[in-house]
Amino acid sequence: MNRIQLLNPGKVVFGAGSLDQFVNDYLKTPHQRLYLVTIPQVADSLDSQLKQLELAGIRVCINTSIAGEPTFDDFERLVQEAAAFRADSVAGIGGGSVMDTAKLVAAQLYSGQTVDDVLDNGFTKKRGTFLACIPTTSGTGSEVSPNAIFVNSKGAKVGVISPELVPDAAYVDPALTVSVPPSVTAATGIDALAHCLEAYTNKHAHPVADLFALEGVKLIGTYLLRAYQNGEDEEARAKVALGSMYGGMCLGPVNTAAVHALAYPLSTDFHISHGLSVALLLPYVMEFNLVTAPDRYAAVAVALGSQENGSQKDIARSAVRIIKGLIKKCGLPTSLGEVDIPFEAVEKLAANAMQIQRLLKNNPREISLSDAETIYTRAFNTEIQEYEEKI
């Protein structure tokens, strides 16, 4: 059994009223100057919480400029603003991009390091700034992970992974996800499902992470369609939020693999949202991998509700069919052509994906450049098919 290291927040609050719990907990700390990273829609709904902080004498600086996947330039701008504000605490209330930015701002604030220093040598100083994360989508699980993803000056996605990025506290209030549009609910939900699925089928899978991963697959597989069809379905929202959090708990000790590696170039080269990029590649990477780990993918199929009988490989293949069906029922595109990616881009996409070795090394089956091209090619085909036995 390989060694595993779990890095999760010191405090996790899950359930209705968690946002208010954050305010109550914050008021018990000695902190007086809160730098809050969020988005305009969320900021507009925080009046009562901000008023409570204001009445207690807490100064709050709000930044709502993170609109898409964050760049290191975005981070530099925010960390300078936080330093000028003399922040002694940071909170991220939003999706993964917002929380990732808040995490790196808190870790870098007053550290004296540059981003290049961190990327080359890691953090040389422990984070001294209090950090809390509150997700408003069910997707990245960033609120409980040591990961933060940014786009560098070359347009490539770079993962910053460190214990210093683990929040001091995470507050997961499913009610905050109720207003998320159906298309975003679907895409972020598939991303969360992929976190769990890739953790369970990972080359470095571990029994501890398996508990979170397989339960996350079951929760999201069972309830995502309901959350997509009715955003006010509180039970579905809560179950998907819990599954998303479980996926985040897997990102530190196990992490993702080829699905995310091949999805990254879709985001950086064609500006496809991360969740949708994952949805477009997930079934085809599963098809490629299942011949190497049929028992793992069979367990995924059972967690997804498969009633298939037969060999482990037969049951594993049913997981692909269920995932393809879920993606289609959630109204997401099922082909690269549907999102206007030209077939001629396959070679470049594959070459760029092969640069993401930090994730490809986790894949249960080794992926060559030719394999990557084959997977992208198959992602142009919307029909439900499985690879031939020879593959």
Provide the pLDDT for residue 4. 85
Burial class (CB in 10 A: 0-12, 13-18, 19+), 104: buried
pLDDT score for 265: 96
Q: What is the pLDDT of residue 388?
A: 38
Q: Is the pLDDT of residue 357 over 90?
A: yes
* DSSP labels, 203-242: TT--HHHHHHHHHHHHHHHHHHHHHHH-TT-HHHHHHHHH
Scored b (16 or more CB within 10 A) or e, 281-305 reads bbbbbbbbbbbebbebbbbbbbbbe
Q: Which CATH fold topology does 182-378 show?
A: Dehydroquinate synthase-like, alpha domain (1.20.1090)
Is residue 279 helix, strand or coil?
helix
Where in the chain do CATH 1.20.1090.10 domains reside?
A: 182-378
Q: Model confidence over 103-151: pLDDT tens digits? A: 999 999 999 888 999 999 899 889 999 999 999 999 999 999 999 999 9
pLDDT for 386 beyond 60: no
Does 385 have pLDDT greater than 50?
no
CATH code linked to domain 11-177: 3.40.50.1970
Whether residue 384 has pLDDT greater than 70:
no
Within 8 A by CB and 6+ apart from 388, the residues are none
Read off φ and ψ for residue 57, nearest 5 degrees: 85, 15
Contacts of 121 (CB under 8 A, 6+ apart): none
Confidence of residue 269 (pLDDT cuts 50, 70, 90): very high
pLDDT at residue 319 in the model? 97
**61 - beta bridge partners?**
35
Give pLDDT, residue 71.
94
pLDDT for 382 equals 53
Q: What is the widest separation between alpha-carbon atoms in the chain?
A: 68
- Ranges of CATH 3.40.50.1970 domains, the chain: 11-177
With a cut of 60, say whether residue 387 has pLDDT above it.
Answer: no
Residue 143 to residue 242: CA distance in whole angstroms: 12
